[in-house]
Amino acid sequence: MSAIPTPSTMPMAPAQGLPRPRVRWRTALGLVLLGLLAAFAALGPWLIGASPVAQDLRNQLAPPSAQHWLGTDVLGRSGLARLAHAAQLSLGMALLAAFSAAIPGTLLGIAAAWRGGRTERALVMLSDAALAIPGLLLVLLIAAIAPGQLAALYVGLALALWVEYFRVSRAVARPVLAGDAVQASRLLGFGRGYVLRRHLLPALAPTLGTLLAFSTAQAVLSLAALGFVGVGIQPPTPELGLMMTESMPYYQEAPWLIAAPVALLVCLVAAMMLLQPERETA
């Protein structure tokens, strides 16, 4: 008698028409840009060595040179040193706020889809109430309580971003929980941890990864907007929006001062936007 084939010995037919993840040129470009900016933010202050707040009034508005690659501002402070510290502050604060919003927002979205009923209605009402206040206005209100404090800006950004994660995770989790795979797992006696680990998280991961990139870019823009209008981080701390405001009166004499933070902000947001995952049908 011939041996009965088992799943381990049976030949696997090649998948036809299944979507395969593929890294395209724009995703690769986003990763390169983000890697360069992250390296500049993490290592720039250490490699440059100059203080971002040290003043040299005898060297005001100096043009770019071998000593100061991005020149100096009106107070003689190194433009490159301030840009590196501003990038570290903006990127670090934005990532921290995005992750802090993603964890509770995702968990609440899963809980709403899982429990349903009154729990879901209460959480949806809470999210709708949060959406009634524009995100930037909410950050402004919290920042007004403690002007110029990093903690207030961080809390405001996190509170403004969690609703997006809640709504997206709830929308993705509902059809997954009602699907045949989850129902079969429950009938076989698998617990909530198994369903969460094997069904919900794989379904949520691509969408949450894209949302994390968008929310980080949104947080960077919000910080820059608050600094630009003078209600965010206060001098002499270097921040991208604050650097633009300080350089505006001297844009004709030293255009490189305002061009540097604008270019870094554009590259940072563009890198986050380019990280949107794509799928291609083979």
pTM of the model: 0.81
SS3 at position 17: coil
Q: Which residue has the higher pLDDT, 110 or 282?
A: 110
pLDDT in tens, 70-105: 999 999 999 999 999 999 999 999 999 999 999 999
pLDDT in tens, 29-40: 888 998 899 899
Q: Where are the domains of the chain?
A: 23-50+61-277
Mean pLDDT confidence for 124-153: 84
Is residue 50 within 8 A of residue 78, CB to CB? The reply is: yes
Average pLDDT value over all residues in the chain: 84
Superfamily of 23-50+61-277 according to CATH: MetI-like (1.10.3720.10)
Q: How far is CA 93 from the centre of its chain?
A: 9
Rounded CA gap, 65 and 26, in Å? 34
Please determine, for residue 12, whether its predicted confidence score (pLDDT) is greater than 50.
Answer: no
Angle at 157 (CA atoms; ends 258, 139), nearest 5 degrees: 80
Please determine, for residue 280, whether its predicted confidence score (pLDDT) is greater than 70.
Answer: no
Please determine, for residue 114, whether its predicted confidence score (pLDDT) is greater than 80.
Answer: yes
Please determine, for residue 65, whether its predicted confidence score (pLDDT) is greater than 70.
Answer: yes
Q: Which residue has the higher pLDDT, 16 or 227?
A: 227
Mean pLDDT confidence for 116-133: 90
Is residue 96 within 8 A of residue 41, CB to CB? The reply is: no
Proportion of the chain in helix, strand, coil states, percent, rounded to 5: 70, 5, 30
Q: Residues near 75 by Cβ (< 8 Å), separated by ≥ 6? A: 55, 56, 57, 60
Please determine, for residue 10, whether its predicted confidence score (pLDDT) is greater than 70.
Answer: no
* pLDDT score, position 3: 45
Q: Which residue has the higher pLDDT, 149 or 126?
A: 126
Most confident of 42-46, 129-133, 147-151: 42-46
Is residue 161 within 8 A of residue 97, CB to CB? The reply is: yes
Q: DSSP characters for 202-254?
A: HHHHHHHHHHHHHHHHHHHHHHHHHHHTTSSSPTTS--HHHHHHHHGGGTTT-
Rounded CA gap, 40 and 47, in Å? 9
Rounded CA gap, 157 and 159, in Å? 5
Among positive and negative, which fits the CA dihedral 134, 157, 223, 211?
Answer: negative
Token output for 97? 């706020």
* pLDDT score, position 277: 58
Q: Name the CA radius of gyration of the chain, rounded.
A: 24
* pLDDT score, position 100: 94
* pLDDT score, position 146: 78
pLDDT in tens, 248-271: 999 888 899 999 999 999 998 888
* pLDDT score, position 11: 44
Do you know the residue count of the chain?
282
Please determine, for residue 183, whether its predicted confidence score (pLDDT) is greater than 70.
Answer: yes
Q: Which residue has the higher pLDDT, 205 or 282?
A: 205
Rounded CA gap, 165 and 170, in Å? 8
Rounded CA gap, 93 and 226, in Å? 13
